[in-house]
Amino acid sequence: MKARKNIFYAQSGGVTAVINSSACGVIETARASRARIGKVYAGHNGIIGALTENLIDTSFETNKSIAALRHTPAGAFGSCRYKLKSLEKHEAEYRRLIEVFRAHNIGYFFYNGGGDSADTCLKVSRLSKTMGYPIQAIHIPKTIDNDLPYTDNCPGFGSVAKYVAISTREASFDVASMAKTSTKIFILEVMGRHAGWIAAAGGMATINNDIPVIILFPEVKFDRNKFMHIVDKNIRRYGYCSIVVSEGVRSSDGRFLSDHGITDAFGHAQLGGVAPVIASMIKSDLNLKYHWAVADYLQRSARHIASKTDETQAYALGKAAVKLALEGKNSVMPAICRTSNRPYRWKISEVSLDKVANKEKLMPRGFISRDGFGITNRCREYLEPLIRGENYPPYRNGLPQYKFLTNTLVPKKLKHSFTIR
């Protein structure tokens, strides 16, 4: 009888409030398919776990522990920001992956991440064929930036959007209370290097224009004079103003306002700190009292306020990935396909990885208001279902109960080690 192939699953890049739901979907579906699938191994700290042969045997975890992943934020097995280099110049890394997969009878590779992860999946699939050990590589979409093409939205984004919308709304009520005698401006900095999806969620904070919110998108070149004009206009009308600014906002010459000259492992500019830049401009030009905050990790780890839609879709995509593998599919990604807005309906489709790898989906111009500082009704209609529904974790003594796994490592089989550079 032919031995059942094992699964290798790994989490990549910045984690989210619901990435573990995708992991749960993978593991629970694999356990229900034991007749055709062996064990599920997870990479300890993402793809680095495969390169260093640090594989976590999830069979040591109880069904109850795996189920608890659906309400636990961040990466249960550890993630990483490690970009595999080009296949042509750094083939050794990819060959190492195949060696590890061969040694542990791994026939399925599930990589849970963004565009760079899709590229890794694609390259592993191609090289494995030439090495005579074919791997079915399935990419599971995940990114709070919501910038993957060919999927209506990305798991992780809906919960961040909900967090940003609620935080902006609540902070605006706070500022409104103090505007007569104190702070008149609140600035919230959110993530989003090139795409303004997260910043756009700040527009959901206002209902029938009951509070003034200005949004600064990466897709719209920052014009200081126009910006100050609309800030002043809102102050005159409402007495206060909230501003949601994406970390990727650029000046007219194309430079990031918050670029510190540092890059991460993927070669991306290390951004952050645009809120105080905007605040200092407002102080200089309008002499208004302000407060600013950076959502940073808080926006992507806020499982206590996650979107039910988001969590449901994250799990469904993990489940779909296993089913695609069992159907013999390779080099594909399960994607969310919206079929209706009213009522909101969606289904799972599939897309070839060569269409997804290293591609970015920016905000459509039709989603941004004519003046460039807000969202349109089309954008609101798109966002509203994604932040819908509450999916609270269990609480005890006032705190959410999250799950840490045992993460038992599999004994190594290869004699030689691999050094991460």
Give Cα separations from 350 to 168, 233, 407 (angstroms): 35, 47, 31
Q: Lowest-pLDDT range, 12-21, 65-74, 267-276, 362-371?
A: 267-276
Do residue 232 and residue 112 come from a single domain?
A: no
pLDDT on residue 256: 83
Percentage of the chain exceeding pLDDT 90: 77
Q: What is the mean pLDDT of the chain?
A: 92
pLDDT on residue 260: 46
Q: Which domain CATH number covers 266?
A: 3.40.50.460
Whether the pLDDT of residue 9 is over 80: the answer is yes
Q: Does residue 420 lie in a domain region?
A: no
User: Which helix (H) or strand (E) segment is 214 a member of?
Assistant: strand 213-216
Do residue 103 and residue 218 come from a single domain?
A: no
Do residue 42 and residue 132 come from a single domain?
A: yes
- Rounded CA-CA distance 42/78 in Å is 9
Q: Say if residues 111 and 50 touch (Cβ distance below 8 Å).
A: no
Q: Does residue 419 lie in a domain region?
A: no
The average pLDDT across 189-193 equals 91
Do residue 284 and residue 339 come from a single domain?
A: no
Q: Lowest-pLDDT range, 9-18, 49-58, 153-162, 352-361?
A: 352-361
pLDDT on residue 272: 56
Whether the pLDDT of residue 1 is over 90: the answer is no
The average pLDDT across 214-221 equals 96
- Rounded CA-CA distance 355/378 in Å is 26
- Rounded CA-CA distance 165/400 in Å is 21
Residue-wise pLDDT for 48-65, tens only, equals 999 999 999 999 999 999
Do residue 183 and residue 332 come from a single domain?
A: no
> What φ, ψ does residue 22 adopt, rounded to 5°?
-65, -40
CB burial class (10 A; 0-12, 13-18, 19+) of residue 328? exposed
User: Taking Cα atoms as reference points, which of 119, 239, 204, 162 lies closest to residue 381?
Assistant: 204
pLDDT on residue 87: 65
Q: Say if residues 127 and 98 touch (Cβ distance below 8 Å).
A: yes
User: Taking Cα atoms as reference points, which of 406, 310, 384 lies closest to residue 70?
Assistant: 310
Q: Does residue 421 lie in a domain region?
A: no
Q: What domain range is 233 assigned to?
A: 157-302+369-387
Do residue 284 and residue 381 come from a single domain?
A: yes
pLDDT on residue 2: 60
β-bridge partners, 106:
6
116 pLDDT band, cuts 50/70/90, is confident
pLDDT on residue 251: 87
Residue-wise pLDDT for 254-303, tens only, equals 888 876 443 444 454 545 589 999 999 999 999 999 999 999 999 999 99
User: Taking Cα atoms as reference points, which of 223, 204, 171, 193 lies closest to residue 307?
Assistant: 204
| Residues catalogued as catalytic | 145
Q: What are the respective helix, strand and coil percentages of the chain, to the nearest 5?
A: 40, 20, 40
Do residue 178 and residue 115 come from a single domain?
A: no
Q: Establish whether the linkage from the previous residue to 343 is cis, with ω within 30° of 0.
A: yes
User: Taking Cα atoms as reference points, which of 42, 44, 7 lies closest to residue 420?
Assistant: 44
pLDDT on residue 362: 93
Do residue 273 and residue 169 come from a single domain?
A: yes
Q: Does residue 319 lie in a domain region?
A: yes
What six digits make up the tokens of 258?
A: 């918050």
241 pLDDT band, cuts 50/70/90, is very high
pLDDT on residue 172: 96
Give Cα separations from 322 to 12, 175, 310, 332, 366 (angstroms): 18, 48, 19, 12, 36
Q: Does residue 318 lie in a domain region?
A: yes
Q: What is the pTM of this model?
A: 0.92
Residue-wise pLDDT for 342-355, tens only, equals 999 999 999 999 89
Q: Which domain CATH number covers 58?
A: 3.40.50.450
Whether the pLDDT of residue 341 is over 50: the answer is yes
Do residue 10 and residue 108 come from a single domain?
A: yes
Q: Lowest-pLDDT range, 51-65, 241-255, 394-408?
A: 241-255
- What residues have CB less than 8 Å from 204, skipping those under 6 apart? 161, 165, 375, 380, 383, 384, 387
